Structure 1
Amino acid sequence: MSVLLLPTGCGLSFGTSHTTHDDARALPYPDQVERVGWEWRPPEGTRVIGTVPVPTGVAVVLDDGYVVLAGDTGEELWEYRAEAAALAAYASRDGEYLALEVEESETGSLLLRFDSSTGEILEESARDEAGGDDAGVDDSSFHRSVDEGTMVVRSSAGPALTALSLETGDPVWTREEPAECTTTDGLNSSTDDAIVLDDVVVEAFTCAPSVVRDFAYTREEGDVVISGLVGRDLRTGEELWRFEEDFGVVAFQSIDHRSLAPLSDRHLVVRTLNSPNILFDVSTGEVIGEWEGAVTGVLEDGSVVVWYARDGEYRREAPGGTTLATLPNPAEAVPDTSDVTGLGAGDSIVLAEGVVNSGEHSLGPDAEIWFHGWDSGDDPVVIDVSQVGAEDTEARPSITAVPGAVVLDYAGAATTAVRCFWDSPDHSLTTAGFTASWRDGHTPG
């Protein structure tokens, strides 16, 4: 472990704290969870913006930088905190790319790229203009559509898609117009969303007679609506694959309620109101299958986990639809289905041996999380999480699988906490505030 405390130059009054960890080890994802393993709270005066899985555990994105925790113990492995100099944070979804933009002068900034396991600064890039306007990282300046030093930006006013070099701030490539439909002529198109997975930019678009960007649309009787995805090379913007779906004359509201949900660095599910979930392999554009339920995960053997809200159960199915296992969900653990698009799937994390669910009972003084094993029948493991995040009963937690743990993040709470769930008494540790659970296992998806 090495520690470096630096005063900043250019007459600025804030300082920088930087520690590294040379002995950090990569961890497997958990197979299952059974109890709270550790807790971690952010330093006083800071706020958790988000969490990112990294090979050694979890990177906690703070409003002033990063703290990286070991998934199995909660130990602080490394940190880089720039106090008031922090402007923006950039992280790929797999955590391999981790960078922080800090103020360097009154007119410029410095981009720092880290080894996400050790905290070593791999590269420093000076930029003439700062990418962030305000001091401190927040939701708007924490960017996930990033990989290999390139960030993809969607705009309703300018070019439909732009890939920017994070090192220079200059465009790498630009798509001035949204993707056009190839199956029907005479329609206008709109780029509605874009995410980066596995070096592929997935552009979601809609075509309709009078569509404009951001779903501004007035439907006329008999209008045809096309929804589609285009996979583009992150480095060039070149089209790699395409998928189009003809919604015919159904209400445009269905397209308005579409969402893209990454399940792994390869798997993406498209959820649309009143339509099946469609699962893609973004590396090839292959449609793995369609399901009436909410697709929540893909296991290492290629089987797909689907939540069927009407039946109150999870099913592990082969891509062809054959049911391999069924998990009746206790009534108390039913996911929140108020989101008609996702059918509550966002409350579930799929592990190799079962499902972790927060549902509607993860708030307030009696908060609990459930783990449902495929072989456990109707009896889930109930994990008491009532002591974390309880200060703010309205705070909505999020759960994320990371190497070594499943993390419960109360980022919206008045007193933020990150908690880890696991099952091994040999690894029990409580620090000042995250919680996680774990058991040795395999990477989901």
Structure 2
Amino acid sequence: MVSLVLAALAVSVVGAFAVPSLRERLWPVDHRVADTAAPEHGVPASVSEVAWRWRPPGNEVVDTVLPVPGGAVAVLDSGVVALDGPSGEERWHYRRSDAIVRSAGVTPDGAGIAVSYTDPAAEEGDPGETVVFLDGRTGRLRAEYEPEALPQEPGPSRFAHVSDEVFLAPGEDPLAVEAFALVDGEPVWSHEGGGAGEAGPLVTTGDAVAATAVLTRGSGTGEEHVLVAVGVDAARGDLLWEEEYPVSDFGDETVEVRYEPSWEALHLGFVEPGGGPVHLLVDPSTGRVLARDSRYPFWGLEDGYVVRTPDSGGGDRVRYSHVRFDGSTSGETVAGNAVGDADLYPGLATGEAVLRLRYLGDDGVTRAPVTVEALPWDGEPYTIDPGLGTAGWQAGDGTVPVDTYPPALLAVPGAVVVLDKDTWATELVGLT
């Protein structure tokens, strides 16, 4: 039922772009720039109330939210809209009626936004791709071009990995990386990989790119699996570091690589041969191990990380611990397990609290109204009602399945944003 509705919506969206209005045919680009750069804001250490609400024009769906120094950029089918973090007021936008956004990414410092468009009316064999590169602070156009040298077809992963000057694509071999200039799409450098195995995710920071792979060495009884991680200079492609970690014979199924823009460390999670889980927090610029823990670090902070474990006191409760890189614990908080919510979307952490979303009904399989639960390191827990209902994908009995569009909690400069998608529109709620 849901897949049929999704297909119908997809057709209606494409149809809307295929038959633009007369005004849109004459002026397909709607571009508004900010007169001055927005003041830079920090990510809030805590939130206590709803500061603003925003809905995109034309009831478009917000695909994701990207952080920029002044707040957030909402990525739509038609383009991008920048919002001030503390107030939610629009700062600038770039939208088109003659093409559809396929991918968008932000440089680590938030100074640039890259957007890949495709023309739904392009002829067969013509990718019909146009890239625009915008100033993240003002929305001014820094470059526009039709890429010709890119190996991959345009798609959602085009700008999944963006550094300050280039965007990255995995090469043909494990650990291979190719870099292309953000301003014109031309090749800049390539890093050769090699070995037999499965390539893992790429991770980009301001000055480095980390590539990972699980390689298989030897054969028969002597076969072993190794997680290999390399750091490459994002500007020049020079190798900065390389590390290897033996992993269990389940191979890539045991490995997890994670990184968030606000983190100070790369998370490598794996199972050692004949042992248990290991979680390493690694400096992506040097490869130095900042911390090693058997517990799952679900969020990274400037001075450490946060782990989530069952509470030793028993019962259906969970303990969050703020662990510094030196191994000391600087704060803890205990709350109800909410395992269903946490498994679907674990939330985020700040220097003052853990924030998580609650949106499961009593049966654990349908949606309930969204609430934000704040668990301070020092103080009593409290909840914030973002005012989001469940008027979305409804089953025959009027309930909303939980696996339709679960909400997301996103930290951006000046606010924590709740993104919730429903059938006809998307609403962003900013918490401060």
Q: TM-score range by the shorter chain?
A: 0.7 to 0.9
Number of the residue aligned with 1:215? none
SS of the aligned residue for 1:208 comes to strand
In structure 2, do the counterparts of structure 1 residues 154 and 244 end up closer, same or farther at CA, with 3 Å as the change threshold? same
**Counterparts in 2 of 1:164-313, with a 5 A limit?**
164-178=180-194, 188-209=196-217, 221=221, 223-247=223-247, 250-253=248-251, 255-263=252-260, 264=262, 266-272=264-270, 274-300=276-302, 302-309=303-310, 311=312, 312-313=318-319
SS of the aligned residue for 2:137 comes to coil
Gaps of 5+ in 1: 1-6, 181-187, 211-218, 339-343, 418-432, 439-445
Distance 2:198 2:350 in 1: 36
Distance 1:352 1:289 in 2: 18
User: What is the root-mean-square deviation of aligned Cα atoms in Å?
Assistant: 3.3
Number of the residue aligned with 1:82? 96
Matched length: 381
TM-score, normalised relative to structure 2: 0.78
Number of the residue aligned with 1:98? 113
Residue from 128, 137, 142 that aligns with 1:117: 137
Number of the residue aligned with 1:184? none
**Counterparts in 2 of 1:13-412, with a 5 A limit?**
15-23=28-36, 24-88=38-102, 89-102=104-117, 110-125=130-145, 127=147, 140=156, 143-156=159-172, 160-178=176-194, 188-209=196-217, 221=221, 223-247=223-247, 250-253=248-251, 255-263=252-260, 264=262, 266-272=264-270, 274-300=276-302, 302-309=303-310, 311=312, 312-331=318-337, 333-334=338-339, 336=341, 338=343, 347-358=346-357, 361=360, 364-376=367-379, 379-385=380-386, 387-388=388-389, 390-392=391-393, 393=400, 394-411=404-421
Amino acid at match of 2:283: D
Displacement after TM superposition at 1:13 (Å): 5.9
Answer whether contact 2:215 2:227 (CA < 8 A) is retained.
Answer: yes
Displacement after TM superposition at 1:277 (Å): 1.6
Displacement after TM superposition at 1:173 (Å): 2.1
Q: Deviations over 1:291-339 (max 9, x none)?
A: 1222133434x132222246511111222322222111223x456465x
Number of the residue aligned with 1:437? 431
Distance 1:272 1:359 in 2: 29
Q: With CA pairs under 8 Å and 6+ residues apart, which has the higher RCO, 1 or 2? A: 1
SS of the aligned residue for 2:43 comes to coil
Distance 1:266 1:397 in 2: 25
Q: Deviations over 1:252-300 (max 9, x none)?
A: 15x3242221133642212336512211121222110111222133434
Distance 1:384 1:352 in 2: 22
In structure 2, do the counterparts of structure 1 residues 256 and 156 end up closer, same or farther at CA, with 3 Å as the change threshold? farther
Gaps of 5+ in 2: 1-19, 313-317, 394-399
Answer whether contact 2:211 2:230 (CA < 8 A) is retained.
Answer: yes
Distance 1:145 1:29 in 2: 22
In structure 2, do the counterparts of structure 1 residues 177 and 387 end up closer, same or farther at CA, with 3 Å as the change threshold? closer
SS of the aligned residue for 1:25 comes to coil
Distance 2:87 2:346 in 1: 24
SS of the aligned residue for 1:316 comes to strand
In structure 2, do the counterparts of structure 1 residues 368 and 359 end up closer, same or farther at CA, with 3 Å as the change threshold? closer
Distance 1:357 1:243 in 2: 34
In structure 2, do the counterparts of structure 1 residues 133 and 314 end up closer, same or farther at CA, with 3 Å as the change threshold? same
Displacement after TM superposition at 1:360 (Å): 5.7
Displacement after TM superposition at 1:387 (Å): 2.2
Answer whether contact 1:335 1:359 (CA < 8 A) is retained.
Answer: no
* More deviation, 317-326/197-206: 317-326
Q: Deviations over 1:184-204 (max 9, x none)?
A: xxxx34432212112211001
Number of the residue aligned with 2:17? none
Distance 2:389 2:71 in 1: 20
Distance 1:323 1:335 in 2: 26
TM-score, normalised relative to structure 1: 0.76
SS of the aligned residue for 2:56 comes to coil
SS of the aligned residue for 1:177 comes to coil
SS of the aligned residue for 2:142 comes to strand
Distance 2:205 2:323 in 1: 24
SS of the aligned residue for 2:202 comes to strand
In structure 2, do the counterparts of structure 1 residues 126 and 226 end up closer, same or farther at CA, with 3 Å as the change threshold? closer
SS of the aligned residue for 2:369 comes to coil
SS of the aligned residue for 1:44 comes to helix
SS of the aligned residue for 2:204 comes to strand
Answer whether contact 2:114 2:182 (CA < 8 A) is retained.
Answer: no
Answer whether contact 1:92 1:144 (CA < 8 A) is retained.
Answer: no
In structure 2, do the counterparts of structure 1 residues 316 and 408 end up closer, same or farther at CA, with 3 Å as the change threshold? same
Distance 1:232 1:176 in 2: 11
* More deviation, 141-150/48-57: 141-150
Answer whether contact 2:41 2:69 (CA < 8 A) is retained.
Answer: yes
What is the percentage of aligned positions where both structures have the same residue?
25
